Structures are given as C-alpha cells and as structure tokens.
C-alpha cells in the first residue's frame, strides 16, 4: 500500500510504501459525510514471458485529476500518481496471477480525510494505493 497526504493549502507530501492494513479515520471525515472522495482502478497483467505490464496508468491519473477538480479537491500530479503505482505493482508482484488467469487490481483512492462537519472542503486529504489479485471477469465464449 502507498500513502501520501496533504492539507487544503499545501501540495501532497512525499508518500511511502507500507504494508497493507487498516487505516484509522474520524467519523467526521469529509469522505464519509460529504462524499469527498474518488477512486480509479487499473490492472497489471502477467505476460506470457512472465513480465508484468500495466495498462495506461497515465490515463487513470488524468481522470483522477479531472474528478478532483470537479470536487474541488487537491490532486496528486501525474508523476505523484504514476510513480507510486509503479512502486506498488512490483512490491506486490507475487500476487500477479499467471498469464491468462487474472490480474493484479490496483486501486488508487483520493479522499477527504480531515474532519469537517459543515459546508466546505476537508482540511486534509489522503491519496493511497492498494492492490489485490483478481480473476478474469468475463470468459470469452465463441459460438460457431
């Protein structure tokens, strides 16, 4: 898991990789009370030769930035999004299924993590990325 934080008037701090685990939040955080949150989802696949391939993380970063603008939330830069994704995937490479058996689902999440009860933005935001192996959603059937 990768975690990075910022306050409303600052840029995102330098983040860090950490073990997957629970996060502690107040019941009055912006994400729970006012929906100040958004997420992306992308996949890392194992190729036939065993290497791991990500599918367009830059597009996910740009989509998160657009959503954050609409919600008036600070957002990680393109580099602050893509670089940690490229750290989380190798850190979880043992969970990437073999070719054709699924993928590693990577979930970047941006949320208002500061306490706020009232109209206005959260005083703090958290950007985190976690990953989980998943199977194939759709099986290909060919009817002849």
Give the CATH number, domain containing residue 126: 3.30.470.10
Quote the tokens at residue 95: 């969970």
Which pLDDT does position 144 carry in this prediction?
56
Query: For 14-23, 38-47, 132-141, which range has the lowest pLDDT when averaged over its residues?
Result: 132-141
Query: For 20-29, 82-91, 132-141, which range has the lowest pLDDT when averaged over its residues?
Result: 132-141
Sorting pLDDT into bands at 50, 70 and 90, what band is 118? Answer: confident
The answer to whether 105 and 57 have CB atoms below 8 angstroms apart is no
Parent domain of 49: 2-19+28-132
**pLDDT, averaged across the chain:** 92
CA-wise closest residue to 102 among 131, 55, 50, 137: 137
Q: Is residue 87 part of a domain?
A: yes
Q: Is residue 52 part of a domain?
A: yes
Which pLDDT does position 19 carry in this prediction?
94
Q: How many domains does the chain have?
A: 1
In the chain, the largest separation of any two C-alpha atoms, in whole Å, equals 60
Which pLDDT does position 70 carry in this prediction?
94
Residue range 100-122: mean pLDDT, rounded: 93
Q: Is residue 143 part of a domain?
A: no
Q: Is residue 140 part of a domain?
A: no
Overall pTM > 0.85: yes
Which pLDDT does position 139 carry in this prediction?
60
User: What is the Cα–Cα distance from 128 to 137, expressed in whole angstroms?
Assistant: 24
Q: Is residue 138 part of a domain?
A: no
User: What is the Cα–Cα distance from 19 to 142, expressed in whole angstroms?
Assistant: 42
* Predicted confidence (pLDDT) at residue 143 exceeds the cutoff of 80: no
Quote the tokens at residue 16: 């860090």
| Beta strand 52-54 pairing with 124-134 | unpaired
Q: Is residue 137 part of a domain?
A: no
Burial of 129 (0-12, 13-18, 19+ CB in 10 A): buried
Q: Is residue 144 part of a domain?
A: no
What is the C-alpha end-to-end distance of the chain, expressed in Å?
A: 45
Percent with pLDDT over 90 in the chain? 83
Which pLDDT does position 140 carry in this prediction?
56
User: What is the Cα–Cα distance from 53 to 126, expressed in whole angstroms?
Assistant: 27
Question: 21-73 pLDDT, tens per residue?
Answer: 999 999 999 999 999 999 999 999 999 999 999 989 999 999 999 999 999 99
């Amino acid at each position: 898991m990768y975690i990075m934080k910022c306050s409303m008037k600052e840029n995102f701090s330098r983040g860090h990789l950490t073990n997957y685990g629970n996060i502690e939040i107040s019941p009055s955080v912006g994400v729970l009370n006012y929906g100040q949150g958004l997420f992306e989802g992308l996949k890392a696949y194992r190729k036939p030769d065993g290497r791991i391939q990500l599918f367009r993380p830059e597009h996910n970063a740009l989509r998160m930035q657009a959503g954050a603008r609409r919600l008036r939330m600070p957002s990680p830069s393109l580099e602050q999004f893509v670089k940690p994704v490229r750290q989380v995937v190798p850190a979880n490479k043992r969970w990437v299924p073999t070719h054709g058996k699924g993928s590693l689902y990577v979930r970047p999440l941006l949320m208002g993590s500061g306490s706020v009860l009232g109209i206005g933005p959260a005083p703090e935001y958290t950007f985190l990325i976690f990953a989980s192996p998943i199977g194939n959603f759709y099986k290909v059937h060919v009817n002849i």
